[in-house]
Structure 1
């Protein structure tokens, strides 16, 4: 037992010594963070919409909601929206009680809801599609989100710009210290740094964008794709 404890202690000492030796032998480094951004016009919009129905019976609420949902899907397909761009996202069917009377067994009504997300790839058809789905049964719109179709290419470009930015920062710092930037020692991309985001909050649905003369009712603004990289360069004399 004593031999085992002695051996473990010896191994720990050796490991600690190696770790300290590695820290002591690190080359002189300059650590910087590079940021790369690509600003583009959105190419598509995802709409979260729904149907809500209230009826005296469960079956009537379910039937009417399903009927309206089917009409919405059929309308969208006829307007050229691909079936894979229409997805049901939420379904609920439940009794509703307005009062707090103890022991009630009969609900005041039944509530049925069905939500779906729809990807519209032709932004100039947004107003026409929205007007049409209201007519066929949509009575809820929970929000919209602008995005770009081929975001991976934009992420790649954003990374290139982030790396160039990091190198420029490192060169500036090294020059001020009369040193030169050598090879890359380590590089990491920050988590969550490459995703697209709206550049302005006004990118969301705004009725104020409608000027009353037949203009568009939404403003797409810009989508920004960002990448952050942390880079360590070796400093040379």
Structure 2
């Protein structure tokens, strides 16, 4: 008897919840739902350089000391050139033995390789060539890549969101006016996260580094694209 009462109570609860949801759906106002996009294109004013030093020596200690010496020289050079300490960061360190000999059972390496990578933010693009040449001169022997960015990206993100909202409103107005209606208050709004990743996002539209033997600039920053994507639902009046 008790089990039967419990089953009846559970069924009653489920039916009540279903009825409540159905009633809520029934009173949902007429809506027009649209997606809005906004985009801002700006020239980058900073470049992030990932560079490294590598030393090959017969002993582990010699390889480590030589690499540390070159890394210290790089940091010293950048500081003298006005690069702030917060814009320099060691990102990767390795120290490995290398066995080139094919002799079976060999336990002693032929030499050791020590590497140390650093990430540097250069805030004056017109000094890129000068600084890179100086870095090579003090011991840097690898450049693994560059990435362009804008320092005040949050300002442009806000501008892109504003454009996205305006775009959504314009779309909704056009759709409803074609049917002889108009949009009312905003019912829901959100930033969508589709295949493009979290919105807003920013990406490098053009990134090119090439050594120019003619003596001209060797870096082309192109432009950075900051985009926003929003989903908005308006009540139809």
TM-score when normalising by structure 2: 0.93
In the TM superposition, what is the alpha-carbon distance from 1:211 to its structure 2 partner?
6.5
Match of residue 197 from structure 1? 203
Report 1:93-172 matches (<5 A): 93-99=95-101, 101-172=103-174
Indicate how the Cα distance of structure 1 residues 211 and 113 shifts in structure 2: closer, same or farther if over 3 A, else same.
closer
Q: Deviations over 1:33-73 (max 9, x none)?
A: 11011111101000000011111110011000000000000
Q: 1:61 aligns with which of 48, 63, 66?
A: 63
Indicate how the Cα distance of structure 1 residues 190 and 206 shifts in structure 2: closer, same or farther if over 3 A, else same.
farther
Indicate how the Cα distance of structure 1 residues 78 and 175 shifts in structure 2: closer, same or farther if over 3 A, else same.
same
In the TM superposition, what is the alpha-carbon distance from 1:7 to its structure 2 partner?
2.3
- The residue matched to 2:106 in structure 1 has which SS? coil
Indicate how the Cα distance of structure 1 residues 130 and 22 shifts in structure 2: closer, same or farther if over 3 A, else same.
same
- The residue matched to 1:156 in structure 2 has which SS? helix
In the TM superposition, what is the alpha-carbon distance from 1:101 to its structure 2 partner?
4.6
TM-score when normalising by structure 1: 0.93
Q: Name the CA distance, whole Å, in 2 between partners of 1:197 and 1:45.
A: 13
Moved more, 21-30 or 160-169: 21-30
- The residue matched to 2:171 in structure 1 has which SS? helix
- The residue matched to 1:34 in structure 2 has which SS? strand
Match of residue 217 from structure 2? 216
Q: Deviations over 1:94-128 (max 9, x none)?
A: 11223455432111211111001000001111000
Match of residue 225 from structure 1? 226
Structure 2 portions without partners, runs of 5+ = none
Q: Name the CA distance, whole Å, in 2 between partners of 1:126 and 1:52.
A: 22
Q: Is the 8 A contact 1:190 1:227 kept in 2?
A: no
**Is 1:206 equivalent to 2:210 in the alignment?**
yes
**Is 1:87 equivalent to 2:93 in the alignment?**
no
Q: 1:180 aligns with which of 179, 182, 201?
A: 182
Structure 1 portions without partners, runs of 5+ = none
In the TM superposition, what is the alpha-carbon distance from 1:21 to its structure 2 partner?
1.9
